[in-house]
Structure 1
């Protein structure tokens, strides 16, 4: 018995998501690296489910996220474009580890770990970030670091 598959399907590469928009909790396929590089918002939820969430971020040149901790959330951060200085610490005043991260690097941040990312490159730092469980409301958009987040992606 041979396996055969109907390959008459629409190629994934023909699909282009509309930004900003949260596509969760529906099944969803994208070219994450390409779409993260096209994102110019400081933070946008791209997919929010019941157990995890994907956000995209664009950090301006020489800017930083700021020391933060997620007591109940694990986080996976992928550098999609640019160069970042990744900092870890036991509290926001004590950084015990610092690492350089380049495009395609992945950073794992366990719940309860203080961390920061500084854009040390000459172009916006584009990252994607997965939180488990979700950390932000569905359909959340923040245009700049200092702007108030809005719901419904209404900018």
Structure 2
């Protein structure tokens, strides 16, 4: 891969997002952080999940590039009334204030890229594993 998997924001930037998403092996890597938006790539191990969370002040867009996932969303932590299965080429749109989780239900890593508006993580964030995601409010 010709582009380094590091945070290139807030400078003008282009990337082959499918190539970058499939090449990423970290739980989370930020690729671009600007004042109003952030791009991250994620790799979720089989049987693992992103972790139930809610973002009160921003929307989130996720696209599945490889693998199979179960999406759960709802108005409360104990009310995840929206549930769908997703695979390659699906997108998930999470409105601000909606509790959500994605679980890898396949037998290969779930490769995802995600856009947050406004940004969710500090510029340059890299979480090699889910356990490295300390301080993130799930």
TM range (shorter): over 0.9
- In 2, the alpha carbon distance for the partners of 1:91 and 1:52 equals 25
Secondary structure of 1:37 counterpart: helix
- Give the deviation of 1:45 after TM superposition: 0.6
For structure 1, the residue ranges without an aligned partner over 5 or more in a row are: 1-14, 150-155
Give the structure 1 partner of residue 3 of structure 2. Answer: 17
Q: How does 1:54-73 map to 2 (within 5 A)?
A: 54-73=39-58
Superposed CA RMSD:
1.1
Dislocated runs of 4+, deviation >4 Å? none
| Structure 1 residues 21-77: Cα deviation after superposition (integer angstroms, max 9, x where no partner) | 100011111110111011000011100011100001000001011110000010000
Question: TM-score, length-normalised on structure 2?
Answer: 0.93
Query: Hey, what's the Cα distance between the residues in 2 that align with 1:147 and 1:109?
Result: 23
Matched, 1:138 2:123: yes
Unpaired runs of at least 5, structure 2: none
Report if the CA contact (8 A) 1:74-1:131 is conserved: yes
Tell which has more relative contact order, 1 or 2 (C-alpha 8 A, sep 6+): 2
Q: Could you state the TM-score of these two structures normalised by the residue count of structure 1? A: 0.83
